[in-house]
């Protein structure tokens, strides 16, 4: 009987020790974790935390475990504690007790990324939990709230917000928050902003105050002129267009039409048509390309690495030309020609080269480097195309004896007597590019005495200034003023000159 009582007493003692020596390891509302020891549990002898196999230093105060190194929100952490039991209890329950816990560090989520902000108010980002630190567009501040004010007076805009729920956490991944003014139509935040300049291959980003599906109804916006590329839906509210190929044409206007009216942030009224001015191209780069492609009597050499032969590389160089230098391509270049050149400024050499380029590429010949000229010049640069045939130049001496000289690729091909205009109708001094080039034509007009002339079958005509042209004419002699402004040449000389004077060839008339 006594033995039985002793057994029961021992069992009761053991049960009491067990129930009053508990150890609880759990997540904490402020720290990483908390370990609670009951009165008979003993003492905490070991605390260890690891994340991805790496040990995390901990501060332990009153059973509260706080990391002494920054952890990322949502990071899994393994915590292990060891408790040493009192000696008098160890005979029944063992000398130590271990507890393990896997914790995922807290994360705070933004509840709404697209905000509608009444006039006169700041946008406010709302989190689903209290945060201790927040960074708006990279500027960090300490807080203790679910609401974070975005310090902006803009009626619409976009910024990034990152937060850390605990003071010992790193800032989480930044989340973009976009806000719009309150309007009666869907609001649109476009980047780049309409009416400003756009990069030919730069992305166009459109963020709507309402989901894309409800705004567009499944229809993509359309570009005019057509723009190669593809649409990508970045999120429920955002469409991004990424141009491809040669993108938007330089020095042009690019228009986008939406299926319904929207209120463009920063605009004065609702619209369904947006437009941008495509970045202007550099005149220096135009000269560089014309030189590289053989349309100038000069060579251009870059100071450093050459431009990448890709649409993106060439388009970048078109708006920000590389450094380099121009040198004359041929020896013995006539001084009449070299005196016309100006780097980076409009001049007749460049104008003639543009006209020749336009003619070679089937474009309207006006001597102006518009969007089509730039598109073709960049495409030629990417493909390494070169103009065949070299460079020609004609200069006419108006003093008697009057001479026409044809220069080509560094050599005088022909010098021939010619006739310029009589004193009442002199051939004008200056330099002009050939603008019409025909093997045979009819010339008619009014003589200085008021009578009319009508000469069919005129051969080898190259018009260069108004009605003035190089052409063949049947005269008894050449070398004195006899024409009504044209430069008349013997038939054989005109026939030899004509193939060298396509549209864009420069003709200089001098004394």
pLDDT, one tens digit per residue, over 258-282 is: 999 999 998 877 899 999 999 899 9
Topology given in CATH for the domain delimited by 2-104 = Immunoglobulin-like (2.60.40)
Q: For residues 200 and 489, what is the distance between their CA atoms, to the nearest angstrom?
A: 49
pLDDT of residue 5: 47
pLDDT of residue 41: 66
Sign of the torsion angle spanned by Cα atoms 26, 30, 32, 36: negative
pLDDT, one tens digit per residue, over 76-134 is: 999 998 988 876 555 556 678 888 989 999 999 999 999 999 988 889 999 999 999 99
On the CB side of 21, CA atoms within 13 Å amount to 26
Q: For residues 85 and 511, what is the distance between their CA atoms, to the nearest angstrom?
A: 117
Closest residue by Cα to residue 508 from 420, 424, 445: 420
Q: In degrees to the nearest 10, what's the CA dihedral of 274, 280, 286, 287?
A: 170
Per the confidence metrics, is the pTM higher than 0.75?
no
Q: What is the DSSP string of 20-54?
A: TS-EEEEE-SSSSEEEEE-TTS-EEEEEEEEETTE
Topology given in CATH for the domain delimited by 392-510 = L,D-transpeptidase catalytic domain-like (2.40.440)
Q: For residues 256 and 138, what is the distance between their CA atoms, to the nearest angstrom?
A: 33
List strand residue ranges (DSSP E) for 383-477, in order. Answer: 392-397, 403-408, 411-417, 430-433, 436-446, 452-465, 468-472
What does the domain layout of the chain look like in residue ranges? Answer: 2-104, 114-181, 187-278, 283-378, 392-510
* Cα 83 to Cα 98, 125, 221, 276, distances in angstroms: 6, 44, 67, 70
Report the percentage of the chain scoring pLDDT > 90.
80
Q: How many angstroms from the chain centroid is the CA of residue 328?
A: 34
Q: For residues 75 and 493, what is the distance between their CA atoms, to the nearest angstrom?
A: 88
187-278 maps to CATH 3.60.110.10: no
* Cα 267 to Cα 151, 205, 262, distances in angstroms: 22, 16, 10
- The chain-wide mean pLDDT, for the chain, equals 91
> Is residue 423 classed exposed, middle or buried when 0-12, 13-18 and 19+ CB atoms within 10 A define those classes?
exposed
> Is residue 242 classed exposed, middle or buried when 0-12, 13-18 and 19+ CB atoms within 10 A define those classes?
middle
* Cα 309 to Cα 316, 354, 376, 511, distances in angstroms: 11, 21, 14, 45
Is residue 196 helix, strand or coil?
Answer: coil
Is residue 373 helix, strand or coil?
Answer: helix
Residue with the two structure tokens 């105060």? 61
> Do the domains 2-104 and 187-278 sit in the same CATH topology, yes or no?
yes
Local confidence pLDDT in tens for the 511 residues of the chain = 555 544 444 444 454 454 455 778 899 989 999 999 887 667 887 899 999 999 999 999 988 999 999 999 999 999 998 988 876 555 556 678 888 989 999 999 999 999 999 988 889 999 999 999 999 988 999 999 999 999 888 889 999 999 999 999 999 999 999 999 999 899 999 999 999 999 999 999 999 999 999 999 888 899 999 999 999 999 999 999 999 999 999 989 999 999 999 999 988 778 999 999 998 999 999 999 999 999 999 999 999 999 999 999 999 999 999 999 999 999 899 999 999 999 999 999 999 999 999 999 999 999 999 999 999 999 999 999 999 889 999 999 999 999 999 999 999 999 999 999 999 999 999 999 999 999 999 998 877 777 888 889 999 999 999 999 999 999 999 999 999 999 999 999 999 999 999 999 999 999 9
pLDDT of residue 20: 52
Cis, bond preceding 192 (omega within 30 deg of 0): yes
Closest residue by Cα to residue 201 from 238, 229, 168, 176: 229
The two structure tokens encoding residue 91: 């005979």
Q: For residues 91 and 95, what is the distance between their CA atoms, to the nearest angstrom?
A: 7
DSSP alpha helix (H) spans, 259-410: 283-292, 311-319, 335-338, 348-360, 371-383
């Amino acid at each position: 009987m006594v033995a039985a009582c002793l057994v029961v007493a021992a069992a009761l003692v053991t049960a009491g020790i067990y129930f009053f020596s508990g150890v609880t390891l759990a997540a904490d509302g402020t720290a990483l974790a908390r370990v609670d020891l009951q009165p008979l549990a003993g003492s905490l002898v070991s605390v260890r935390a690891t994340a991805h196999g790496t040990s995390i230093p901990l501060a332990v105060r009153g059973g509260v475990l706080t990391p002494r190194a920054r952890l990322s929100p949502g990071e899994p952490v393994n915590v292990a504690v060891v408790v040493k039991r009192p000696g008098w209890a160890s005979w029944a329950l063992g000398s130590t007790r271990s507890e393990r816990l896997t914790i995922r560090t807290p994360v705070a989520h933004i509840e709404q990324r697209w905000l509608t902000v009444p006039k006169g108010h700041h946008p406010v980002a709302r989190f689903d939990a209290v945060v201790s630190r927040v960074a708006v567009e990279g500027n960090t501040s300490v807080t203790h709230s679910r609401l974070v004010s975005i310090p902006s007076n803009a009626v619409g805009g976009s910024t990034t917000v990152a937060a850390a729920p605990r003071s010992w956490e790193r800032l989480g991944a930044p989340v973009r928050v976009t806000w719009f003014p309150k309007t009666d139509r869907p609001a649109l935040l476009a980047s780049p902003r309409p009416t400003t300049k756009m990069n030919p291959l730069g992305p166009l980003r459109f963020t709507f105050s309402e989901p894309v599906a409800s705004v567009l109804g499944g229809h993509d916006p359309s570009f005019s002129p057509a723009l190669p590329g593809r649409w990508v839906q970045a999120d429920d509210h955002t469409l991004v267009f990424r141009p491809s190929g040669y993108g938007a044409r330089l020095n042009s206007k690019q228009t986008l039409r939406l299926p319904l009216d929207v209120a463009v942030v920063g605009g004065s009224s609702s619209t369904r048509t947006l437009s941008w001015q495509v970045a202007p191209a550099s005149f220096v780069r135009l000269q560089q390309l014309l030189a590289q492609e053989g349309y100038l009597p000069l060579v251009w050499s870059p100071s450093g690495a050459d431009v990448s032969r890709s649409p993106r590389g060439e388009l970048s160089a078109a708006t920000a030309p590389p450094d380099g230098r121009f040198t004359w391509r041929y020896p013995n270049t006539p001084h009449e020609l070299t005196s016309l050149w100006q780097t980076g400024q409009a001049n007749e050499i460049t104008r003639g080269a543009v006209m020749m380029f336009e003619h070679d590429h089937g474009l309207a010949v006006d001597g102006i480097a518009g969007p089509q000229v730039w598109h073709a010049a960049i495409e030629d640069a990417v493909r390494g195309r070169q103009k065949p045939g070299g460079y020609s130049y004609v200069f006419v001496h108006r003093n008697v004896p009057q001479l026409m000289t044809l220069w080509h690729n560094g050599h005088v091909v022909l010098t021939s007597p010619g006739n310029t205009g009589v004193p009442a109708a002199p051939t004008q001094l200056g330099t002009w590019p050939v603008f019409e080039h025909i093997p045979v034509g009819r010339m008619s007009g009014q003589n200085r005495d008021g009578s009319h002339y009508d000469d069919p079958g005129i051969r080898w005509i190259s018009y260069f200034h108004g009605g003035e042209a190089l052409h063949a004419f049947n005269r008894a002699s050449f070398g004195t003023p006899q024409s009504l402004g044209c430069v008349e040449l013997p038939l054989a000389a005109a026939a030899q000159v004509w193939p060298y004077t396509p549209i864009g060839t420069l003709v200089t008339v001098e004394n």
